[in-house]
Amino acid sequence: MAHTNDSPLLVMSGISKSFGATQALSNVDLELRAGEVHALIGENGAGKSTLMKILAGVHRADRGAMSVAGRKFAPDRPVAALRAGVAMIHQELNLAPDLTVEANVLLGQERIALGGFLQRRAHRDIASNALAPLGGGEIPLDVPVAQLSIARQQVVEIARALASEARVIVFDEPTSSLTEEDTAHLFQVIDQLRDRGLSIVYISHFLEEVAQVADTYTVLRDGCVVDHGRLPDTDLDHIVRQMVGRELDELFPKVPHEAGEPLLELDALCGDPMPEDVNLTVHRGEIFGLAGLVGAGRSELLRCIFGLDRTPSGTAHVSGRGRVAGGARSSIARGLGLVSEDRKSEGLAVELSIADNLTLSALGSYTRGGLLSLSARDQSVRQWLDRINIKAQRPAQAIGELSGGNQQKVAIARLLHQQADILLFDEPTRGIDIGTKAEIYRLIGQLAADGRAIVMVSSYLPELLNVCDRIGVMCRGRLREVRAAKAWTPEDIMHVATGREVAA
Amino acid sequence: MSEGTNTSSAQAATQAAGRPTFEVVWSSLAPFIGLALVVLIFVVYQWLVTPERPFLSQYRMTLIAKQTAIVGMGALGMTVIIISGGIDLSAGSLLAVTSVVLAVSLRAGIDPVVCVLLVLAVGMASGLINGLLITGLRLVPFIVTLGTMMAFRGVAEIVSDNKKVSYQDAPNWLSTLLNAPPEGSYQGVATGVWIVLALALLLAIMLRYTVFGRYVFAIGSSEATARLCGVNVPGMKLTVYTLGGLFMAVAGIFAFANLGSQGSPTEGVGLELSIIAAVVIGGGSLSGGRGSVLGSLLGALMMTTLESGCGYAGVSTAIQRVIVGLIIVGAVAVDQFVHAQRR
């Protein structure tokens, strides 16, 4: 099948990198042969993206060496890596949306005639030749890429890598916004690339996917290689254990809690254009999880419940406090609180202090005759820092100086400070290290035990399955199916999330 | 082949496979439709109110063309700048600088051809300064050109000693550039208008068929992608702003001719906004990546036609300003609506 060659095409050896006091990578080795698909596996923060950024010329390693096809490889910027034959396909695609398909495939490698004129015929040939083996033969060359579906845009970007004669292609979470059908197609494309003798690095959270597409794997944890091997010979549970490096109980601490009376009731709630027609009841002392693909309408549902987005029809009703009328102010008054998925630009005001961020939504309680009593506020903020174990020096410290995990705890503390009863969490542990994740899971459990209702959106299935009591799966704006967490398997969730019916 | 993550993009993709999309057709036709509507309004007015005085007389049309020349020339450079994702607020001040530099150098007894070349060099140097500040200091174009807008205005005042500078012995080819036909015209159209059209054609070809043009669009559409693909982004920006300065210098020469062989340090105050408006009405996007030479010229033409028509119908300049303001906002709103429908 693949043209095999005994000497590896890509060698990374002894790569180390630190940012300030944090050792992001220590002594990492990675080898790839031509025609090999290699999975790079690890938790968020394990060092995968740092390693790939070094490969792509975004960062430079402190120590270690790299070579491509036997030649020394030390890119100082992304374009240098590209010229040396290493291309990256990011989750966020790197395309110029207003440019045509042809222009994007040839960007930076234009064939130029006298006077700077573009050789349009040559361009069309190169673009079609690059697209054809990727099953992109029918993608029109003259259309701006912004008008293509995400899956097709991805094909265009892969075609660009082919047109630049890349030898190594890195796929970073390529399927996170694809349907099941598109994912299957992408795997065919990757098989094609393998058969042409390219080396592929494949990064994904979905281990089932990895097992399907990759030949070999490396597991990173805390910046070190903890395991590597051939995939067909390895079972996935072993990989999960290597990845997490601890037992599941430790990762998902259980706080006993019990569901009580209904607290939040959604009746045919619709957003514009998503979600559609959502009916749901969440109880006191319950943790409700929302699963689904990116773009399925989960965040939109939270925003509609909270009244941040327009709801053309349907209602959200809080038991004892009436209908949510729209607008964050009235939602807060009814005991709702939202932690945004976008911590940096929406969830927190990064320029402000911890105290400002924690009390922003309920400053009223510290006003005396129209003036803020800062000392009373500082005192109360100190209590909160203590209560949920936020590692900070003082309330006036800039929130940007805290770690991601501690920032998230401040965002959660704000809801508790505003006395929210219904907590809406959007990706509450994104970009947070494992230790702090466990603390946040415990905090969520504790909040449920205190009688609050929690609705959390997450793209990380183990988290939903182990933390939530019930899980609803969304697909294309609709809440498709709700079951007790124990009654779901990851496969079932993915089936419903990708719009397939589950075989009974 | 595949299903999009949302249906509208999938539809757009399917549609794209065959004929040009509605969006493409729309963005090339919209400025024409706008212009036609403006003309139509005044033709109807003529039909209803003043049938004895035709609106579209040959005289009026040549007048409109000549009045469009200065804004149109500025709009050529601004189109490139805006497509690249930038903006140039110093355009109006640069017009004043180049017009007084021309007058002062002519009065110094320098050969007119050399004077014109000098003015073009001054324009390019000023544009280059904008570009160097933007790329060198990594400042946003809005701030840089807001600063140079004031600085250039000051330079114009210094060079001219804050007075209008007149030079009545300018050669005919220079002083009659924008005269009403038949004087200084070819085929009944002012020479300046021919220059605008020729440069517009040249620029349109550059934008569409050369690497330069493609990189301008790429930078405006996604600067990060362009950089990743090895486009020399700072070099491109320097070129773009230098080119903008060059076009403004030609506009400055036009202004000199239009003022009766005079350079004026107070000329062109607020002109940059009319120029930007022309580009935006013509389909240019202030976030970069979109715009066309033809559209910008039509935008400029539409505004002049409106002015001329308001004069024809006896509408006061005050009301005229309100109308132009509404049209700018309306044109962008309609365009954005159409794009939103298609995404």
CB contact under 8 A, A97 and B211: no
Q: How far apart (Å, rounded) are the C-alpha atoms in residues B215 and B204?
A: 14
**How far from B91 is each of B67, B82, B87, B228, B235, CA to CA, in Å?**
17, 13, 10, 31, 21
Q: Is the dihedral of CA B233, B237, B243, B247 positive or negative?
A: positive
Q: Show the tokens assigned to A401.
A: 């100086």
Sign of CA dihedral A100, A92, B137, B227: negative
Q: What is the pLDDT of residue A472?
A: 95
Q: Which residues of A touch B11 (CB under 8 A)?
A: none
Inter-residue contact A105 to A155 (CB < 8 Å): no
Which is nearest to A208 in space by CA: A248, A181, A242, A175?
A175
Tell me the nearest-neighbour CA distance from B326 into chain A, angstroms.
27
Quick one: average pLDDT of B154-163? 95
Q: Do B9 and A150 touch (CB under 8 A)?
A: yes
Across the interface, of A99, A120, A150, the residue whose CB is closest to B221 is A99
DSSP E strands in chain B: the ranges are 165-166, 185-186, 189-190, 262-263
Coil, helix or strand for A13?
A: strand
* Contact between B225 and A96 using a beta-carbon 8 Å cutoff: yes
- pTM exceeds 0.90, yes or no: no
State the Cα–Cα distance between residues B304 and A351, nearest whole angstrom: 47
CA angle B335, B337, B341 (to 5 degrees): 120
To test the contact with chain B by mutation, choose from A53, A94, A119, A147 the residue with the greatest count of B C-beta atoms within 10 A, namely: A147
Identify which of A94, A147, A177 has the shortest CB distance to residue B16: A147
Identify whether the C-beta of residue A461 lies closer than 8 Å to the C-beta of residue A435: no
ipTM confidence score: 0.80
Average pLDDT rounded to a whole number, residues B24-33: 79
Please give the pLDDT value at position A36.
94
Collect all residues with Cβ–Cβ distance below 8 Å to B338 and sequence separation of at least 6.
Answer: B23, B26, B30
Task: Please report which confidence band the pLDDT of residue B341 belongs to, taking 50, 70 and 90 as the band edges.
Answer: low
Interface of A with B (CB under 8 A): 78-79, 82-83, 94-99, 103, 107-110, 112, 115-118, 120, 135, 138, 140, 142-143, 146-152, 160, 177-179, 181-182, 185, 293, 295, 476
Q: How far is B325 from B281, CA to CA, in rounded Å?
A: 11
Q: Do A295 and B214 touch (CB under 8 A)?
A: no
| SS3 at position A267 | strand
B315 contacts B45 by C-beta, under 8 angstroms:
no
User: Considering chain B, what is the average pLDDT of its residues?
Assistant: 88
Considering only the beta carbons, identify the residue of A98, A116, A149 that sits closest to B10. Answer: A149
Residues lower than pLDDT 50 in chain A: 1-4, 502-504
pLDDT surpasses 60 at B76: yes
Put simply, the answer to whether A147 touches B342 (Cβ < 8 Å) is yes
Interface touch B1/A78, C-beta < 8 Å: no
Nearest CA in chain B to A157: B225
DSSP tag of A503: P
> A381, A355 in Cβ contact below 8 A?
yes
B12 CA to chain A: closest CA distance, Å? 6
Q: Which residues of B touch A (CB under 8 A)?
A: 1-6, 9-10, 12-13, 16-17, 20-21, 23, 206, 209-212, 214, 217-218, 220-222, 224-231, 289-290, 342-343
> B199: distance to nearest CA of chain A, Å?
17
Task: For A149-215, list the strands marked E by DSSP.
Answer: 168-172, 199-203
Is the separation of the CB atoms in A351 and A344 below 8 Å?
no
Using a 10 angstrom Cβ sphere, with 0-12 exposed, 13-18 middle and 19 or more buried, the burial of residue B262 is: buried
In this prediction, residue B17 carries a pLDDT of 41
Select from A103, A140, A149 the Cβ nearest to the Cβ of B5.
A149
pLDDT computed for residue B343 by the predictor: 46
Q: How many CB atoms lie within 10 A of CB B53?
A: 10
Mean pLDDT of B273-294: 92
Task: Kindly identify which residue of chain B lies nearest to residue A175, measuring between CA atoms.
Answer: B5
CB contacts < 8 A (A, B): 125
Tokens of A96: 């110029």
Burial class (CB in 10 A: 0-12, 13-18, 19+), A284: buried
Residue A1, pLDDT score: 39
Which chain A residue has its CA at the smallest distance from B83's CA? A98
pLDDT at A161: 92
Measured distance CA(A396)–CA(A385) in Å, rounded: 12
pLDDT tens, residue by residue, A232-256? 888 877 887 788 776 666 778 888 9
Contact A78 B227 (CB under 8 A): yes
pLDDT at B7: 38
Of the listed ranges B176-180, B250-254, B271-275, the least confidently predicted one is B176-180
Say whether A107 and B217 touch across the interface (CB within 8 A). no
